Amino acid sequence: MQQVKHLLAAKGNAVYAVAPDAAVYDALQQMADKNVGALAVIRGDELVGIISERDYARKVVLKDRSSRETPVSEIMTPGVVTIGPDASVDDCMRLCTDNRLRHLPVLDGGRVVGMVSIGDLVKATISEQRETINQLESYIVG
């Protein structure tokens, strides 16, 4: 069974982050530049929240706020659900499903070392299932 550390090794463990006092516009620009749907919000070395496209849509656009004037801290999701590098893909899928999450920051020793998305988890699950099917077919054939 794959673990988060295997996913990060395969996809890379770049941490895309923004400061809580940054403008929402800057966070959106970084998300677009990096082609990601969420950023860790980090103050110093501490994860204080996460900002996603969903936060922007619901807390800026629908409330007619200015993304250039609104700080990330006003719309971020605090109290982030996190995982460790030794967590299994199944554990992550369960966390995402139970909490309706799309992104899970990966913490190792209290430090953010990566981020996995629901897309990463689905891809890993499909790959693992494909491998199992291939092994079963090989066993049956011979």
- Cβ atoms of 2 and 14 within 8 Å: the answer is no
> pLDDT tens for residues 58-76?
999 888 899 999 999 999 9
3-state secondary structure at position 82: coil
Q: Which class is 4-141 in CATH?
A: alpha beta
E-only strand ranges, 5-63: 17-18, 38-43, 46-52
Residue 12 CB partners (closer than 8 Å, separation 6+): none
Tokens representing 71? 């700080």
Residue 43 has pLDDT above 80, yes or no: yes
**What is the pTM for the complete model shown?**
0.87
Ordered by start, the domain boundaries in the chain are 4-141
Residue 13 has pLDDT above 80, yes or no: no
* Beta strands 103-108 and 111-117, pairing class: antiparallel
> pLDDT tens for residues 110-127?
999 999 999 999 999 998
Type of residue numbered 11: K
With bands split at pLDDT 50, 70 and 90, how would you rate the model's confidence at 102?
A: very high
How many residues appear in the chain?
Answer: 142
